[in-house]
């Protein structure tokens, strides 16, 4: 007799933490890449190699643009602070 079963088991989650501040650009890029693509351990070697090479290229692109986003956000915050008479704080933000 064939049994029909329902299988449920939660997979492992990833936990990333930081100290004395928010996540680094590398950590954010790693989080994004894990959502964008998953390289199976069981993939054929040639496909796996291509996927890993693609991931490497994606890493460089994301690093550049996440860093750009962080710089631009700081620039916007600095401008708001500067325009409201907080030049000293604006300078601190820019220097991060």
Partner 1 sequence: MAPTQAMCTSFKKELLLGVHRFGTNSADTFKLALYTSSTSIGAGTTAFTSSNEVSNSGTYSSGGGNLTGVAPSTSSTTALTDFANVEFTSATITARGALIYNSTPSANDESGSSLTNPAVCVLDFSSDKTSTSGTFTVQFPTADASNAIIRIA
**Residues 33-52: x where in contact with partner 1 by CB under 8 A, - otherwise, as a string:** -xx--x--------------
Distance between CA atoms of residues 76 and 72, nearest Å: 6
53 binds partner 1 (CB under 8 A): no
Count the residues of the shown chain that bind partner 1, applying the rule CB under 8 A: 22
Binding test (CB under 8 A) with partner 1, winner from 17, 46, 85, 88: 17
Longest dimension (CA), the chain: 79
Distance between CA atoms of residues 38 and 32, nearest Å: 11
Binding test (CB under 8 A) with partner 1, winner from 1, 3, 9, 85: 9
């Amino acid at each position: 007799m064939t049994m029909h079963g329902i299988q449920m088991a939660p997979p492992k989650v990833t936990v990333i933490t930081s100290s004395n501040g928010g996540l680094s650009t590398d950590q954010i890029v790693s989080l994004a890449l894990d959502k964008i693509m998953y390289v199976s351990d069981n993939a054929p070697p040639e496909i796996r190699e291509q996927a890993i090479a693609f991931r490497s290229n994606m890493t460089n692109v994301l690093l550049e643009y996440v860093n750009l986003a962080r710089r631009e956000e700081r620039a916007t915050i600095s401008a708001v602070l500067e325009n409201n008479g907080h030049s000293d704080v604006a300078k601190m933000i820019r220097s991060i």
